[in-house]
Amino acid sequence: IEEENLTPITFDQLIHHLRTGSSLPPKPVLLTFDDGYEGHYTHVYPLLKEYQYPAVFSLFSGKMDGEIAGRSTVTWEQAQEMAADPLITIASHSVTHPPDLRELEDEDLRREVVDSKARLEEKLGIPIRYFTYPAGYYDERVAEAVEAAGYEAALTMSNNDEWFAGESESLLELGRFGQSRLEAVIPDAWEGLALPFATEDTFDFVSPIRVMDRLETEEVPLAFITGGRPVTVHADSRYQLVDILARTNAIAAVDGGFFSLKYLDSNVMIGPVLSQATQTFVPGNVTENPLLNGRPLALIGPTEVKFVPFEATAHNTLQGLQAEMLEVTDAFVGAAWLVRDGEPQPTDAFGTLFDFDAYRHRAFWGINRAGQPVVGVTKGRVDSVTLGELLYQIGLRDAIMVDSGASTSLAYQEESLVDYTPRPVPHLVALLPEEEAHGTCPLTFEEAPTYENEWDASW
């Protein structure tokens, strides 16, 4: 832990982070110890006190009461001493530690989760707020019983499928890693995107804008920016991303939709586009639009974002967009879903999309599980399927690929976050800070600067 500069945190810190998006210290880890072995008191607890590391001990009351025989056990007196220490969190681990809670009848299941909580609270004199599934086994019925018993969160585990706490579907199924995987996963321990759990139709457009300029993953580094309110800019020509951003009251942006390459200064988009910058709807080319059918149409409103399959016959008018989202302020067609409805997209979801499986620099934007907008790029070359898996892992519930390859660009406060000079673009997805995000169309966009000729044109 010291060598890797990890920071042990409390269970309460983790839950507060997942609920509210509060910050965690760098490289946080939650130390957990199951089953209440004697060595947890005689060896582990002294080390925790020496290093001042918080930890969670999951105890099953039947063993300490003598109902269940075990290899060794902490005593009630030892458990009381640990429970009184602010470093230690005690979690319920059932009464008898059955091999699989899923196989129990309803009444037996209720006893395991309710009586263990009551017994621990009686003997230790503290509230027991957390549960740990014996052997990690649970299903929807078991999780509902745990919630009904009054627990706020529950830890699971699996020999076949392990995941970070921030990747968990709910507070009642928080993933853990076994000790055999620790060395492999330590490099990926980080403070996260500050993702409180939210329902799929919840959006948060007032959270602070946060920058992750480089996140190392096994496949490719990522750079992304989260928070704020999403808007788009459809400029009058092509410019470097930072130059367009400088003309707005937004502070972060990624390059946006695809555009025609026929002319160097053209701002003609592929597919229809609506932007707060112009407050003008521009239809797509009627002969090209059918080729876009099924691609994600991004719709942005004052309080929500939708990604729906584009239909050329329905979505090439402002009225067609308003039929999908009445208060739509911005819209454009993306390349493909990378994450859709909380699932990374498989190979067959990309259909005939050109070069989706090629290794290229790629750009993306979407919504994370907290309902916050996220814009970002890869800091190296990667295929689309792998990128979708990475975005799912860092907490995106929906993400689409935007113009990539040579156009891939990301900027924050007029500074480029890519290590090359990207192709100029006419369109971007930007993030407004909370203080600039009031009203239906809060984006401001200055006209391009004009310059007087400095040469003699009379010749």
Position 218 confidence tier, pLDDT thresholds 50, 70, 90: confident
Q: Specify the pLDDT at position 200.
A: 65
Q: Per-domain residue ranges for the chain?
A: 7-188, 210-436
The dihedral over CA atoms of 153, 157, 163, 167, expressed in degrees to the nearest 10, equals -20
Position 42 confidence tier, pLDDT thresholds 50, 70, 90: very high
Q: Where are the beta strands (DSSP E) in 269-348?
A: 273-275, 280-282, 296-300, 305-309, 330-333, 336-340, 343-344
- Mind giving me the DSSP string for 409-430? -EEETTEE-SSS-PPPEEEEEE
Task: For residues 383 and 360, give the distance between their C-alpha atoms in angstroms, rounded to a whole number.
Answer: 7
Q: Specify the pLDDT at position 168.
A: 81
pLDDT, tens only, 385-442 = 999 999 998 888 999 999 999 999 999 998 999 999 999 999 999 999 989 988 899 9
Task: For residues 437 and 305, give the distance between their C-alpha atoms in angstroms, rounded to a whole number.
Answer: 15
Position 221 confidence tier, pLDDT thresholds 50, 70, 90: very high
Position 337 confidence tier, pLDDT thresholds 50, 70, 90: very high
Q: Specify the pLDDT at position 20.
A: 67
Report pTM.
0.61
Task: For residues 445 and 184, give the distance between their C-alpha atoms in angstroms, rounded to a whole number.
Answer: 47
Section 333-337 average pLDDT:
97
- 285 pLDDT above the threshold of 70: yes
Task: For residues 189 and 43, give the distance between their C-alpha atoms in angstroms, rounded to a whole number.
Answer: 25
Section 134-153 average pLDDT:
96
> Which residues have C-beta within 8 Å of that of residue 383, sequence separation ≥ 6?
356, 357, 358, 359, 360
CB 264: neighbour CB atoms within 10 A? 8
- 257 pLDDT above the threshold of 80: yes
Section 356-381 average pLDDT:
94
Candidate ranges 84-88, 290-294, 367-371, 436-440; pick with highest mean pLDDT: 290-294
CB 290: neighbour CB atoms within 10 A? 12
CATH number given to 7-188? 3.20.20.370
> What percentage of residues in the chain have a pLDDT greater than 90?
72
Q: Among 166-170, 232-236, 237-241, where is mean pLDDT lowest?
A: 166-170
Q: Specify the pLDDT at position 455.
A: 32
* H or E element that contains 110: helix 106-110
CB 78: neighbour CB atoms within 10 A? 17
pLDDT, tens only, 68-126 = 776 789 999 999 999 999 899 999 999 999 999 999 999 999 999 999 999 999 999 99
Q: Among 260-269, 347-356, 407-416, where is mean pLDDT lowest?
A: 260-269
Diameter of the chain measured on Cα atoms: 105
- 371 pLDDT above the threshold of 90: no
- 372 pLDDT above the threshold of 80: yes
For tokens 């999403």, the residue is 230
Task: For residues 435 and 455, give the distance between their C-alpha atoms in angstroms, rounded to a whole number.
Answer: 44
